């Protein structure tokens, strides 16, 4: 039997962080769950909220770690091990300082770019070739200001741009799930180039 495709959104749990820039990965996951009309259920032994569904004809898992961002890796590994997910069938969505609000980028493999959630996933997964959805949130301009910036809410214009890029990313999911990353990247990177 074909193993499921796992979509993970990164963020911090709890109401305090729900609307912060660092939770852009959660926003993406929530959009996907909303379109699939499913709710995620807490699975404490996996340290994640999980749902299994059909998306565009594919068997998919949606997972939201219940750990804080810096400990995302344990949850991701637990879900992968439990459901038998292969690294090439993993998509991780997260906030990206190096992209402007309104820009989203897909990539396969690469480094963690200093992102603490990815860094922890790297610790728990020997294969770093998984797919990433980088959701641009912009940069405060000073590295000393990054923590406060990612843990605060964007202004209305930036938040609208971020959520717009998430919608564009959701639109290319059929190509991603079909294994046509090239087509997904071309479409997403073209539509989200309007980001400043």
- What's the CATH code of the domain at 129? 3.40.50.1470
Which two three-digit tokens encode residue 82? Answer: 């439990």
Give the number of domains in the chain: 1
* Catalytic residue from among 22, 128, 139, 194: 22
pLDDT of 189 > 60? The answer is yes
Residue ranges of E strands in the chain: 5-9, 41-43, 48-55, 58-65, 90-96, 104-108, 131-136
Angstrom distance (rounded) from CA 81 to CA 68: 20
pTM of the model: 0.95
Which two three-digit tokens encode residue 83? Answer: 């459901």
Q: 113-136 pLDDT, tens per residue? A: 889 999 999 999 999 999 999 999
Whole-number pLDDT of residue 191:
67
| Domain residue limits at 12 | 5-194
Q: Establish whether 71 is a catalytic residue.
A: no
């Amino acid at each position: 039997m074909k193993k499921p495709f796992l979509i993970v959104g990164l963020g911090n749990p709890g109401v305090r962080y729900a609307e912060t820039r660092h939770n852009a990965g959660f926003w993406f996951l929530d959009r996907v769950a909303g379109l699939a009309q499913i709710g995620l259920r807490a699975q404490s032994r996996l340290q994640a909220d999980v749902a299994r569904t059909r998306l565009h004809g594919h068997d998919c898992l949606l997972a939201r770690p219940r750990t804080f961002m810096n400990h995302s890796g344990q949850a991701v590994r637990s879900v992968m091990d439990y459901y038998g997910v292969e690294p090439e069938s993993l998509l991780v969505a997260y906030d990206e300082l190096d992209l402007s609000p309104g820009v989203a980028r897909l990539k396969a493999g690469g480094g963690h770019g200093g992102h603490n959630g990815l860094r922890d996933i790297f610790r728990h997964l020997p294969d770093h070739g998984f797919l990433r959805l980088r959701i641009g949130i912009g940069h405060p301009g000073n590295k000393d200001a990054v923590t406060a910036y990612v843990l605060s809410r964007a202004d209305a214009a930036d938040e609208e741009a971020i959520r717009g890029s998430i919608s564009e990313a959701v639109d290319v999911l059929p190509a991603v799930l079909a294994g046509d990353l090239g087509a997904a990247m071309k479409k997403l990177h073209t539509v989200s180039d309007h980001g400043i």
